[in-house]
Amino acid sequence: MASTARQLSSASAFRVFSFFVTTAVSLAMMPFIVHTLGDRMYGLWALVATLLGYYGVLDFGLTPAVCQHVAVALGRGDREACNGVVAASLRFFLAVGMVVLLLSGVAAVCAPGMARSADQASLFSQIILILGISTAVSFPSRVFTGFLIANLRYDLMVGAELVALALRTSLILSVLLLGHGLVAMAWATFTGSMVGMVLQAWLTIRKYPWLRLRLRAPRTGLTRSLASYSIFSFAGQVSDRLRFQADPVVISMFVGLAAVTHYRIASTLAQQFVVLTVAITGVFAPLLSRKYGAGDFAGLRSTFFFATKVSICVASFLGFGLIAWGKPFILRWMGPAYLDAYWPLVILAVAIAFDLWQAPSVDLLYAIAKHRAYACLNSVEGVLNLGLSLWLVRRYGMLGVALGTLGSMTVMRLVVQPIWVCRLAQLPYRDYMKLAGSALGGTLVAASLAWLICGWAIRPAYWQLASSAGVAVCVYGIAVLFLVFSSADRRRVGSALAPLTRLLHPQQLPAIASPAPPAQ
């Protein structure tokens, strides 16, 4: 258990580190890019990025299928099964990449019919084509992403991501300072992404020399298993696009491109909320799959309950932080002209907190291959979200779009999902709700305490925002450690933090040996 806890802690630490670096760069760059390009041009960039995001559905849910199947095979110590999964997914993703290339060409040709002016049409076509090629190449690289996640090797992923981020950021700064526009910015993004994907592939092959990249046809049983698993992951991904990526399209249709930029400020901060929470808690997903593969159902339940506590604590604090620190941060970050993004941010923060409280239950369904139910639930929520957004945007503008997200998540995440998950996973509903309610009560008390101590110091200045947030994290963290977690949980947390202690005092603690690889 201690070794597993340290492995999870290390994986989570790398993900959190990547998040903070990526977020710092993104938040620092956004005002510069918006003020350099203007609201309309940045709105066009955001709209193209959203449309290209729909290419992600061509994954057909295979990336999570690869991760789950590799993790289950690792739990059984079967390397040959791992190689079979990689071979099957590589064949599929190469074919998808070719389809994306074709679709990008068609979209570039059809772009003039979707633009309001000839100049805008030309920009639209070029950006779609450049970023479409980058997206096409990214599909084969998903094989390595799923494989590394299953092995909890986030250090290799983060290393490649940070190199790509540094190159992409420096190139974007260079082209904009030299007076170039969106097309040059698209080429800078393309170059950084390509370098990151190649580096990740090289690091994976170097670390796992037993991994075989072959294109031979997989056995029929594996193909059927991957297809059965991925089809419902695909349905979940499609509905996720309705939940999170339809908003800019709706706003551009009913409010305008300039409003897309203002809403993008709120959605960017809300997205960082999701990414950070998943960075901390998402490491439990492959562990749940491993325990399921090993037949350790008691460990599966214990890990799920612990992950639920962690997710509620993290999501509650981050949602509270966006509400408490959001307005002064936007004022300092983007300026008073963009303060209209604050109330959409508040609504999105509450909605996403509801969603992320339930994140471990989604991981559990994927781990035990019961994610068909999640796909159905997600689809209903996606349609409900889109319908509410289309109805409310006419009355309340971009605020109505955020309200549509809140309404759908309240019904589906707080009412429907807990009942469904407990039934499918054969968990006592009363025990689960008691645990979740107790954890939520503890987080509310801890957040109130943090606000009483730090609320007075929140001002629209970076040093005051950072210092007050740092103190709030310490107060909240200590409070929830005793209000939410049991003594056994605290020992598990202490075991997970052991690697950090070893880094601070390397001469006092022996090195921890890596786990032995599974037998051939």
Do residues 257 and 41 lie in contact, with contact meaning Cβ atoms separated by under 8 Å? no
440 vs 270: CA distance, rounded Å: 20
- Compute the average pLDDT of residues 272-283: 80
Selected residue with higher pLDDT from 318 and 17 = 318
pLDDT, position 62: 66
Maximum average pLDDT range among 215-219, 346-350, 404-408: 346-350
Lowest mean pLDDT, pick from 150-154, 192-196, 215-219: 215-219
Which two tokens mark 378?
Answer: 């997600």
Is the predicted pLDDT of residue 504 greater than 60, yes or no? no
Lowest mean pLDDT, pick from 14-28, 352-366, 505-519: 505-519
- Compute the average pLDDT of residues 399-410: 91
pLDDT, position 315: 93
Selected residue with higher pLDDT from 306 and 496 = 306
Lowest mean pLDDT, pick from 45-54, 440-449, 510-519: 510-519
Is the predicted pLDDT of residue 429 greater than 70, yes or no? yes
Largest Cα–Cα separation, the chain? 68
Amino acid at the residue 34:
V
Q: Name, in order, each residue with C-beta under 8 angstroms of 463's C-beta and a sequence gap of 6 or more.
A: none
Percent residues over pLDDT 70 in the chain: 81
Maximum average pLDDT range among 35-44, 67-76, 297-306, 445-454: 445-454
Is the predicted pLDDT of residue 68 greater than 60, yes or no? yes
pLDDT, position 285: 76
Is the predicted pLDDT of residue 15 greater than 50, yes or no? yes
Do residues 266 and 341 lie in contact, with contact meaning Cβ atoms separated by under 8 Å? yes
- Compute the average pLDDT of residues 423-445: 91
Selected residue with higher pLDDT from 244 and 24 = 24
Q: Name the average pLDDT for the chain.
A: 79
Where are the domains positioned within the chain? 37-228, 246-501
- Compute the average pLDDT of residues 484-497: 74
Is the predicted pLDDT of residue 391 greater than 50, yes or no? yes
- DSSP state, 283? T
133 vs 144: CA distance, rounded Å: 19
Q: Band the pLDDT of 137: cuts 50, 70, 90.
A: confident
Angle between helices 462-483 and 487-496 (to 10 degrees): 130
pLDDT, position 284: 80
264 vs 43: CA distance, rounded Å: 8
Q: Band the pLDDT of 511: cuts 50, 70, 90.
A: very low
Count CA within 13 A, CB hemisphere, residue 4.
12
Selected residue with higher pLDDT from 484 and 137 = 484
pLDDT, position 12: 64
- Compute the average pLDDT of residues 441-447: 94
